[in-house]
Amino acid sequence: MELPWPLTDGRVTVRPAEEADAPAFLAYKRRPECQAYITRTVDTLEQSRSLIADRLAEPDSVLCAVLVDGQVVGDIGGRRYRPESLGPEPDVHDFYLGYTVNPDHGGRGIASAATGLLVTALHHAGIRRVVAKAFAENVASIRVLTKNGFRLEGTERLAVLGRDGRWLDDCTLAHLAE
């Protein structure tokens, strides 16, 4: 997707991921605390490279590195899709959002800033509705979203089997273009 890269607020920068980001992504994505709520996990350099290559090859996907002081500290991205319709072909896109921040840099507002930058750019690019799914117990992620104006639209109770064998409540939050 064409967005006015890089996106930055002066402290946090979001730019498209590159093959060379694979080691930096691996460094945190292999950590258990980064895998608990993520579908596609990364445990090897090869898997990290494949993730980047796959996402760059998909025209509707976005995968970005999040940088602070020139260092990759996380990733953010997602996929645009056509909204459902009862008949007429929608001429707009919606977008599924996801992100991870290296726990060594957690709690410094980095995910919140990156989300704000990307969501604003997506709406400017014509995206109508940005949707994020987060498990109810992932309080930090839900806070990132609500701080950025996302609203909780619903919670599917005990809908997804977690990695540790517990059934998790799955929340849907969304941010609509003005």
Ligand X SMILES: CC(C)(COP(=O)(O)OP(=O)(O)OC[C@H]1O[C@@H](n2cnc3c(N)ncnc32)[C@H](O)[C@@H]1OP(=O)(O)O)[C@@H](O)C(=O)NCCC(=O)NCCS
Minimum distance from CB of 139 to ligand X (Å)? 4
Candidate ranges 7-15, 49-57, 107-115, 161-169; the one touching ligand X (CB under 6 A): 107-115
- Residues 71-100 as x/- pattern, contact with ligand X by CB under 6 A: ---------------------------xxx
Number of residues interacting with ligand X: please give it, by CB under 6 A.
22
- Of 32, 70, 87, 107, the one binding ligand X (CB under 6 A) is 107
> Residue 30, Cβ neighbours under 10 Å: how many?
16
How are strands ordered across the β-sheet holding 167-176?
Answer: 7-8, 12-16, 61-68, 71-81, 94-101, 129-135, 167-176, 151-161
Residues in the chain, how many? 178
Backbone angles phi, psi at 39, to 5 degrees: -75, -55
Residues interacting with ligand X, by CB under 6 A?
A: 34, 37-38, 98-101, 106-112, 134, 138-141, 143-144, 147
